[in-house]
């Protein structure tokens, strides 16, 4: 059914070439006066409404950054909470302009869903949660462990691959739902709980005493959570991609929401180019010269967004890990603005 609908949507957008899908998204967004952003229906730290009803999270901040770049106003975003089933159809049909909804970047999605992934907003992967009292520091020490996992998911297969390729003994205890699996882990049915790492941090908050549990540093699968736009609009693709890279470059150069106004006077040529004091780099992608000033002053750089949503400043306390800048041993690398 899902594939049929997708095929239908693709066919329809091909036939109705004059429809929403083809006009320049930037012009449409400017004309509407707001950005329509597809997010999840609620994923802790990535997109969830807070007590005041404001959407917050790392995925949400990317949309706010794009709105800041286009309108100089991060509030000009309307959020469409989408379920996993509806998300790609919503993007194809033009119901949303950006899909910033913890979607794993894979070849088949990139090729067949009529969309382009712009950049990886968060490098996720399957990880392990264990009790601190176990004294385990690395997944390589898990020989002979019993592992709780959700049955019938790729999670289960990844565990099998990881343990077999490392010649470790293990025993799988599989359950239906995530909540049940967590309860089983908490009641001591198994020593290790495995799921996507970002999930582990969120689920850890649901344990009676979260400080008794640690998340091991290893990632045993690749789940790059990326932002996506509709295929066929290269300008919009560039804008969304460079908003993310701009936030990375800002962090790397030490430009924060606090000091961005002072940085405008910086003699550093890199920073001059980024903030539009030199050259017209923002204009080259259809934005303004001060595009990055707008983003960083209103939303912050990538590190600030990360800390606020999922990192040190949030209850989730996720380590930067693979999401640290390339200069600090992570994978987040913003190509140069020049």
Partner 1 sequence: MSDVAIGHGQPFVRKEILQPEPPPASLVGFSGWARQNLFVGPANTLLSLFCLALATYVAWIMLDFLVLRAVWTGANREACIGPEVGACWPFITTRFGQMLYGFYPAEEHWRPATVFFVAVALIAPLLTPSAPYKKANALLFFVAFPIFAFVMLSGGFFGLRPVETRAWGGLLVTLVVATTGIVASLPLGVLLALGRRSKLPVVRFFAIAFIEFWRGVPLITVLFFATYMLPLFLPSGWSIDGLLRALVGVSLFSAAYMAEVVRGGLQAIPKGQYEGAMAMGLRYWPMMILIVLPQALKLVIPGIVNTFIGLFKDTTLVAIISIFDFLGIIRSAFADPNWATPGTVYTGFAFAGIVYFIFCYGMSRYSRFVEERLDVGHKH
Rounded CA separation 139/136 (Å): 8
DSSP symbol at 133: G
- At its nearest, how many Å lie between partner 1 and the CB of residue 199? 11
Among 25, 29, 35, 44, binds partner 1 (CB under 8 A): 44
Q: Let me know: does 172 contact 149? Beta carbons within 8 Å.
A: yes
Q: Mark the segment that binds partner 1 (CB under 8 A) among 204-212, 219-227, 231-239, 259-267.
A: 204-212
Helix (H) or strand (E) holding 280: none
Mapped onto helix, strand or coil, the DSSP state of residue 127 is: strand
145 makes contact with partner 1 (CB under 8 A): no
94 makes contact with partner 1 (CB under 8 A): yes
Rounded CA separation 253/260 (Å): 11
9 makes contact with partner 1 (CB under 8 A): yes
29 makes contact with partner 1 (CB under 8 A): no
Q: Mark the segment that binds partner 1 (CB under 8 A) among 101-109, 121-129, 258-266, 309-317.
A: 309-317
Question: Please, which residue, 32 or 137, has the CB nearer to partner 1?
Answer: 32
Question: Please, which residue, 297 or 323, has the CB nearer to partner 1?
Answer: 323
Rounded CA separation 330/303 (Å): 12
**What is the footprint of partner 1 within residues 164-203 (CB under 8 A)?**
179, 202
Total binding residues for partner 1 by CB under 8 A?
46
Give the burial string for 68-85 (b: 16+ CB within 10 Å, else e).
bbbbbebebbebbebeee
Rounded CA separation 154/126 (Å): 10
Site for partner 1, rule CB under 8 A = 5, 8-9, 12-13, 16, 18-21, 23, 40-45, 47-53, 78, 80-83, 86, 89-90, 92-95, 179, 202, 205-209, 314-316
């Amino acid at each position: 059914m899902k594939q049929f609908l997708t095929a239908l949507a693709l066919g329809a957008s091909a036939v109705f070439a004059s429809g929403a899908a083809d006009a320049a998204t930037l012009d449409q967004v400017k004309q509407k006066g707001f950005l329509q952003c597809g997010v999840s229906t609620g994923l802790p730290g990535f997109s969830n409404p807070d007590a005041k009803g404001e959407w917050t999270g790392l995925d949400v901040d990317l949309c706010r950054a794009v709105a800041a770049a286009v309108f100089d106003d991060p509030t000009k975003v309307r959020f469409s909470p989408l379920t996993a089933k509806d998300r790609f159809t919503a993007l194809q049909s033009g119901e949303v302009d950006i899909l910033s909804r913890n979607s794993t970047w894979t070849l088949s999605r990139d090729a067949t869903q009529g969309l382009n992934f712009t950049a990886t907003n968060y490098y996720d992967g399957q990880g392990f949660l264990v009790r601190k009292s176990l004294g385990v520091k690395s997944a390589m020490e898990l020989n002979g462990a019993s592992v709780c996992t959700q049955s019938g998911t790729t999670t289960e297969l990844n565990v099998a691959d990881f343990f077999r390729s490392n010649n470790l003994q293990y025993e799988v205890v599989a359950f239906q739902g995530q909540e049940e699996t967590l309860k089983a882990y908490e009641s001591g049915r198994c020593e290790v709980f495995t799921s996507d790492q970002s999930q582990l941090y969120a689920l850890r908050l649901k344990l009676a005493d979260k400080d008794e549990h640690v998340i091991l540093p290893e990632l045993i699968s690749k789940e790059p959570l990326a932002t996506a736009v509709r295929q066929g609009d290269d300008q919009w693709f560039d804008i969304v991609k460079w908003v993310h890279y701009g936030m990375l470059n800002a962090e790397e150069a030490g430009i924060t929401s606090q000091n961005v106004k002072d940085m405008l006077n910086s003699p550093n040529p890199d920073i001059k180019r980024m903030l539009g004091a030199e050259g017209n780099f923002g204009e080259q992608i259809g934005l303004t010269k001060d595009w990055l000033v707008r983003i960083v002053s209103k939303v912050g750089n990538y590190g600030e967004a990360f800390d606020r949503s999922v990192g040190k400043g949030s209850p989730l306390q996720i380590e930067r890990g693979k999401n640290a800048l390339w200069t600090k041993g992570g994978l987040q690398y913003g190509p140069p603005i020049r």
